[in-house]
Structure 1
Amino acid sequence: MPAPDAKWTGRATAFADSYAHLCAHTAPDLLDVAGPAPGGALLDVGTGSGTVAVLALERGARVAAVDAEPTMVELARSRVPDVRLGRLPELPYPDAAFDAVVANFVVNHVPDPARAAADLARVTAPGGRVAITVWPRPAPPLQQLWNDVLDAAGLPPSPSIVPPALNFERTTEGVTGLLRGAGLRDVSARLLTWEHRTDLDSWWIGPANGMGALGEALAGRDEATMARARREYERLAAPFLTGDDLVLPTAALLAWGTR
């Protein structure tokens, strides 16, 4: 059984109240390109709070889901019947088990993206689709906000979990190359753009609970450092406020290919 991902340990509720709403935006596009047809078998890898899996169920798929963090599995099981503990690149399923496999903002959280993509392809049946999303580079305004807060608060960024030799460019070319390297064919990608609407307090839930680049940098810091980061966050977020609404432009790379 895989070890829990320490980055997300015990943070399922905080994730559901914050970043899950952001990540949910891409779920319809992800399923549009992945399928499968009603009645087909779909695997949702890194299901988190189960958003993609629930939508796939509503579309008539037979859905299984997996996540590396036990509290995420528990949360998702309240919405999706078949959820297991597991992680890339060692998914607990046999080869060619699914008609479609999706991973919504998961490949950007693994130390070996190529092995992860290969495992997604492994559990996909011939003729089935793999579809993934990742955050692009350069960072869109929403993600750049956290980088700017880190700098303004004098906090060092967390080191990348991906060694340079194993990383890939977070561009359409980079993500399509990753899927082609996993043996997929007819690979395509496109950039999705939207505005994420939230408010100052709700959007601070993630960093306050140790999630994301800023949250990792704040983990274990004293109250004065937390307060300084919060002040810088409010200052830098001010241009994105419309009344009480925080409106943050963002984007994601969507890529897919056929096994």
Structure 2
Amino acid sequence: MSAYRRPVPQKHDVWAVGDAYEAYIGRWSRVVAERFVRWLDVPAGRRWLDVGCGTGALTATVLAVADPGDIVGVDPSEGFLAGARADVVDPRASFRVGDARDLPLPPRSLDAAVSGLALNFVPAPARAAAEFARVLAPGGVAAVYVWDYAEGMAMLRHFWDAVIAVDPKAADLDEGRRFPLCRPEPLAALWAAAGLLDVQVESIEVPTVFTDFDDYWQPFLGGQGPAPGYLASLPDDHRRAVRDLLRIRLTTLDDGSIPLTARAWAVRGQTARS
């Protein structure tokens, strides 16, 4: 029996427009990505895969930090891949459409398979974990990171707490409730069940300082992801009620900035060496 519930796709889970994603989550995911890649400490010149590469934030970080021989980014969204191809201009990088549950790569062909902020959106994460293991050469590293939606991703925790205060019926849409996978124990269990060895889970926490309330609020209006997608579905008066409650609840410094933090959970493991 799985240690976590399978995520149920919601109509608000929209991922297609790169610029809107960057303003919403991408700018913070890049900071986490650097710490994640340094934690993996994969030697230079290796063959990498970025699953659910989106706009290419993690791919670009691997190129800058890990000096790979090459890296393939795979994502189901053509819109995101167009942005990745435009932003990540490096002959070592290539991008293709693909599904985490059926990776378009041969077995035992890569040294590192990674994913950033995507695994919890895969309808069958166990299949994705098995695919990570399948495409890795002996001794290869499989690793992902996901937001700590339940507690540690403050910008989203504040948002959903305000939404539920305005509309208690929206509680089941809260990403902290929807994605129980995004905790240390389920992540470790998932990796172990895929046959990966030496499994480790690490907390990565970064500051997310918003210059003012608009810098916090406006990205939620971009329609990319569960929270913005839900917000776009609301009538104007409900949307204003969420906004006004957040304005009251968020701590604002004298200069108008809003200092928050974001925590991600990262898991890594290795395939057997022989």
Distance 1:213 1:186 in 2: 33
The residue number in structure 2 matching 1:63 is 71
What secondary structure, in the 3-state scheme, does the structure 2 residue paired with 1:82 have? strand
**1:45 to 2:57 alignment:** no
Q: In angstroms, what is the RMSD of aligned CA positions?
A: 2.5
Q: Secondary structure at the match of 2:144?
A: strand
Task: Give yes or no for the alignment of 1:231 onto 2:238.
Answer: no
* Compared CA separation, residues 87 and 244, structure 1 to 2 (3 A): farther
Query: What is the CA–CA distance in structure 1 between the aligned matches of 2:149 and 2:62, rounded to whole Å?
Result: 28
Within 5 Å, which residues of 2 pair with 1:11-160? 11-58=17-64, 59-61=66-68, 62-80=70-88, 81-136=93-148, 138-140=150-152, 141-154=154-167, 156-157=170-171, 159=173
Q: Distance in 2 between matches of 1:228 and 1:159?
A: 18
Query: CA contact under 8 A between 1:44 and 1:53: conserved in structure 2?
Result: yes
| Cα distance in 1 for residues equivalent to 2:34 and 2:158 | 26
Q: In 2, Cα distance between the equivalents of 1:6 and 1:213? A: 5
- In the alignment, the residues of structure 2 paired with residue 246 and residue 14 of structure 1 have an alpha-carbon distance, to the nearest angstrom, of 20
C-alpha deviation, 1:40, in angstroms = 0.9
Q: Distance in 2 between matches of 1:10 and 1:137?
A: 21
- Spell out, residue by residue over 1:4-33, the C-alpha distance to the aligned partner (whole angstroms, 9 max, x if none): x98334421101122101111221232224
Please give the secondary structure, in 2, of the residue aligned with 1:57.
helix
Change (3 A) 1:240 1:97: farther
- Aligned CA distance change for structure 1 residues 6 and 144 (closer, same or farther; 3 Å): closer
Q: Which 10-residue stretch deviates more, 138-147 or 84-93?
A: 138-147
Q: What do the CA deviations read for 1:57-80 (whole angstroms, capped 9, x no partner)?
A: 123211111112111100000133
Matched, 1:257 2:269: yes
Normalising by structure 1, what TM-score? 0.86
SS of the aligned residue for 1:145 comes to: helix
1:240–1:248 contact (8 Å) kept in structure 2: no
Give 1:246 shift. 1.8
Deviation at 1:105, TM superposition (A): 1.1
How far the C-alpha of 1:42 sits from its partner, in A, is 0.7
- The 8 Å contact of residues 157 and 213 in structure 1, kept in 2 or not, is answered as no
Instruction: Give the 3 Å change call, closer, same or farther, for CA 205–120 of structure 1 in structure 2.
Output: farther
Shift of 1:104: 0.8
Cα 1:129/1:231, change in 2 over 3 Å: same
Q: Distance in 1 between matches of 2:71 and 2:264?
A: 24
Runs of 4 or more consecutive aligned structure 1 residues displaced over 6 Å after TM superposition: none
What displacement does 1:152 show? 2.6
CA distance in 1, matches of 2:116, 2:20: 18
Residue 158 of structure 1 contacts residue 216 of structure 1 at CA under 8 Å; is this kept in 2?
no
Q: Extract unaligned runs of 5+ from structure 1.
A: none
- Cα distance between partner residues in 2 of 1:235 and 1:129: 45
Q: Contact between 1:117 and 1:182, CA under 8 Å: does it hold in 2?
A: yes
One-letter code of the match for 2:244? Answer: R
Deviations 1:224-243 (A, max 9, x none): 22222221222222x25452
Amino acid at match of 1:181: A
Kept in 2, the 8 Å contact 1:108–1:135? The answer is no
Q: Tell me the alpha carbon deviations over residues 41-90 of structure 1, each in whole angstroms, 9 at most, x when there is no partner.
A: 11111112211111211232111111121111000001334111112111
